[in-house]
């Protein structure tokens, strides 16, 4: 079932989204060669708790950390560890924050230092694809229009669109209905004002195929090429949308 949020719920989600945004800023400040992904996780965890919120992912379906950090050929759901960030790494950070039981979900990808032009373009175009997808959002539009936009933008730029993982509704659970795929589907479901959804393209420099690591969480590209991930939680309105996890 797709929920329509009340004014009160929207206010709580705006706050969760704002703290999510600020947590990303804290992590971004600290991403540099030599820091471990666990240290970044702990910085995010402490910041979220200090702001009277909770990390949505900790314990979600058994996930063992507060945020997800996925490096290079890791697409999503990388578990923070002793692994140290290196010069040239492509680092995707996915953060969930809840406030009084209402969630927000947002991801950003960072290039640490310098990398190739094609990897820079991957990251830039994945970010652009998110905004392309968001641009069609308003009351009455088919949800599938979002994925169509993302997919055509990705194809134009020769990037692989991950199909097994999709965007989703957000509310009292970090993942709720509806699914928001990053590719065209014939699903006739339409957006309604008051829905809150997370749009989250995961684009690969190479092929779209992925596999799951032995840790049962980390998703990697089959061909070993890098992947990028950007995500915002947005409120659907009569005339458009409001990003809840932005500035």
CB-CB neighbours of 93 under 10 Å: 25
- 1 Cβ partners below 8 Å, 6+ apart? 177
3-class SS shares of the chain: helix, strand, coil, % to 5: 30, 30, 45
Selected from 27, 97, 198, 205, the binder of Mg ion by CB under 5 A is: 198
From the list 112, 105, 222, the residue with the least C-alpha distance to 160 is 222
Cβ-based nearer residue to Mg ion, 31 or 197: 197
Q: Is 202 a binder of Mg ion (CB under 5 A)?
A: no
- Tell me how far, at minimum, the Cβ of 76 lies from Mg ion, in Å: 8
Candidates 13-21, 102-110, 121-129, 158-166: pick the segment binding Mg ion (CB under 5 A). 102-110
Which phi and psi (to 5°) does residue 185 adopt? -135, 165
Cβ-based nearer residue to Mg ion, 74 or 200: 200
Show the site string, 65-94: x = touches Mg ion by CB under 5 A, - = not. Answer: -----------------------------x
Cβ-based nearer residue to Mg ion, 88 or 127: 127
CB-CB neighbours of 179 under 10 Å: 15
Q: Is 105 a binder of Mg ion (CB under 5 A)?
A: yes
Structure tokens at 137: 């959002």
Cβ-based nearer residue to Mg ion, 140 or 177: 177
Cβ-based nearer residue to Mg ion, 189 or 223: 189
Residues that bind Mg ion (CB under 5 A): 94, 105, 107, 198, 200, 231
């Amino acid at each position: 079932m797709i929920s329509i949020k009340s004014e009160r719920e929207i206010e709580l989600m705006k706050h969760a989204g704002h703290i999510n945004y600020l947590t990303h800023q804290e992590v971004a400040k600290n991403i540099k060669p030599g820091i471990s992904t666990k240290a970044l996780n702990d910085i995010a965890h402490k910041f979220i708790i200090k702001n009277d919120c909770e990390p949505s992912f900790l314990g979600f379906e058994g996930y063992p950390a507060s945020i997800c950090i996925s490096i290079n050929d890791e697409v999503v759901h990388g578990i923070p560890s002793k692994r140290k960030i290196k010069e040239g790494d492509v680092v995707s950070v996915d953060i969930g924050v809840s406030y009084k039981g209402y969630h927000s979900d947002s991801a950003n990808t960072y290039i640490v230092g310098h990398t190739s032009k094609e990897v820079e373009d991957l990251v830039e175009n994945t970010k652009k694809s998110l905004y392309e997808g968001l641009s069609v959002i308003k009351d009455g539009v088919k949800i599938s229009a979002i994925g169509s936009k993302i997919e055509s933008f990705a194809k134009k730029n020769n990037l692989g669109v991950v199909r097994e993982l999709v965007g989703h509704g957000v509310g009292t659970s970090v993942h709720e209905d509806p699914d928001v795929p990053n590719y065209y589907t014939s699903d006739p479901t339409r957006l309604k004002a008051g829905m809150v959804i997370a749009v989250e393209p995961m684009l690969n420099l190479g092929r779209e195929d992925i596999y799951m690591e032995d840790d049962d969480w980390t998703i990697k590209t089959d061909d070993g090429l890098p992947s990028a991930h950007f995500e915002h939680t947005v409120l659907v309105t009569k005339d458009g949308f409001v990003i809840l996890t932005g500035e």
